[in-house]
Structure 1
Amino acid sequence: MKRLYLRIYLSMIASLAIFALIAALGWKFAFDREHASRDERALVAEVVAALLPPADAPPEAQRAVLERWHARTGVDVALFDARRAPIAAAGRPVPAPMRVDGGREGQEGWGAWRDAAEHGPPAWSVRLPDGRWAVARIWRFKGGPPFGWGALLLALTLAVAIGAYPMVRRLTRRLERLQRGVDALGSGDLSARVPVQGRDEVAALAASFNRSAERIETLVRAQRSLLANASHELRSPLARLKMATALLTEPSVDGSGREGGAATEASAAQRAALRDEVERNVGELDALIEEILLASRLDAGAGIAREPVDLLALLAEEAARAQATLSVEGEGGADVKRADNRAATRFTVEGDPRLLRRAARNLLENARRHGAGSPVEVLLSEGARGPVVEVLDRGPGVPEAERERIFEPFHRLAGHGEAAGGVGLGLSLVRQIAQRHGAAAVCLPRDGGGSRFRLEFGGAGATH
């Protein structure tokens, strides 16, 4: 498998190499003027011939013109006849004209070459219309051959390649760590996380992976805990059912040790009590399974229905069912009657009416079960960001250290075992339902003793 960083790096090097090649070719064709076109050669020859004395002029006159050129430009210049014999010169000696390839024949009257015995700029020659040769060497010309530019481009390419490798490797190294994290999570390591470095897309992807892994770990642990606790909670009613069934089918024995008469079977009263026990345990199993299924559905993030729900009407029905007192507070603490339509509007929320009813019922059942027989009160008020529902009792209350733990699945307070009723999922479902509706569920102390369970809507973002 090809490594990503190698593919990125090689692609960058190939792009640089192509750029260097194109730049070198561009320099070659744009600035290498050693071979001019035919029209350019003719034009240069005509201009030079017009500036020079005619071919039959005395050599002194021709030398005088060359001296003036040399004085003004600093260019070494010389004139040769058609046989390449020197006529006149100015400045440092300039060799006789020769072809670019070193031959002695002019290349269509134009050429440039470097003398092998000297190190300097090339000598340029042009054949004039009258057969003479003009040769010049420009020492201040800095163009140079394209090989210097090619070397410079090569050096730049190497420098960029060396500098780019750490950056490319740093990018792909983070991707490799992310890949290892995904592989570890897929192999069952739910604690696998990857470091988040930088602020780019790779960092965002790593952060997203960590959030997903944390969510998966939380869900899997919750499911494992739910399964373990559910298995434990199912044992007790099943054991009681088994015992009751055995007692219903077991014949009774009289005092003499003989079976028969009125003692051949359990008495009618015993049978009735056993039937009630069976029905109670079946109802407990049914409630436990229903709450387990609901908790699993909420843990899995299943969507919930969304419609306007009148909390005032819902709480009034559930309070009447649980024989609790409902109070509604308006602005300034004044009581608002149910007939007031404005109150119904203020206490309307978007959500699943079945789940909201389940949350209210669980809070009322919890208050009735642990309120030590005290009256249960329900208070509906208008908070800063939405409706607030409070269920109050005068029971022993909840210790401060337990006020968060009681919302965990199957958690019971010390001294509140199965005899107190419930399966330990009621308050956990209340918090889950509240969170799905953008509400906060908390347990608070009540002035004068007791507990205060509060649902405050609008305090968190709802999850769908």
Structure 2
Amino acid sequence: MSWNSPISRKLYLRIWLAVAGSVLVLSLLVGWAWHAAEARREQERERLGPPPPREVVVRNAQGEVLGNAEAQVRRAPDRGLEFEVTMRDGEVLYLQMPPRNRGLEGGRRMGPPGGPPGGSPGAPPGGERRGGPPDRADRADGLLAWLRPPYGFVWMLALAGLAVMAALFPVARRLTRRLVSLQHGVQRWGEGDLSVRVPASGSDEVADLTRHFNTAADRIETLMGEQAALLASQKSLLANASHELRSPLARIRMALELMPSAGEPGALPARTRTELARNVAELDALVEEILLASRLEAREADLGSVEEVELLALLAEESARVGAAFEPDTGAGEVLVRGVP
């Protein structure tokens, strides 16, 4: 049997087949032992020879002895007992005792060839039976023959085995139903549904295994929830920190732009100015990458409210903070940008 066959994947079928096979083997062994015992008893009967003759006394209605003789008993499995009696005057009589379940008229003739067909002298002509229609009687006799030795015991074993197999199938199906439910629950849980729980009923090994699975699933779901919350807070913190770094970098860049140029009083050397600008640009690019990655991975991160910011007012504020002169054009209107202040 292939391990991928439907029978190998169904535990209740395997249990049922195992018990059914055991019942079948037991029935075969018992039948074989019974057959061997019957054969040995038959051999013993043949070895001992026929039973000794019995004396049969024939009397008339007045009780007078008409004759007596030793009769040889002959036994047939489906015809009962027959006595062959040889009287003193040489006449041969046949006395027949049919089985209990058949009438004397229903049996076949046990007498010598050429005798009356009814089975005993004086039977109705033609062997007419008085126990019912001939075909019905024949069918009943044929059925009873299968229930008598040597087949009756074998049929009894076969019927008992079939009854056990029929009663065992729903029992095996019920025993494995909770295992199937547990299998489906574990499969759904493995597919990602961590909220799946399997109903636990009973106090056997299957119920204990189900309770252990539910406990482990609760712990794993709790740990996964805590880990997800921690990861979300870390992403939010990283996004907020990246955003907060943008403000001082923007102020440093603006202060660098507002510093005196080369040749003016208080101007920084060109090399120093270039180095500062390069460092500020690298920091700004790094913060931009971190902020972009944080926003892509954690859209739920709280980066603050987005609102409109007046750019000219922000420039004037930064100019005043660093002591730089800021003179916008008189015709310049409000410049509004959307962002997180």
The TM-score bracket by the shorter chain reads: 0.3 to 0.5
The alignment's TM-score, normalised by the length of structure 2, stands at 0.47
Structure label with greater radius of gyration = 2
Structure in which a larger fraction of residues adopt helix: 2
Structure of greater relative contact order (alpha carbons < 8 Å, 6+ residues apart): 2
The alignment's TM-score, normalised by the length of structure 1, stands at 0.36
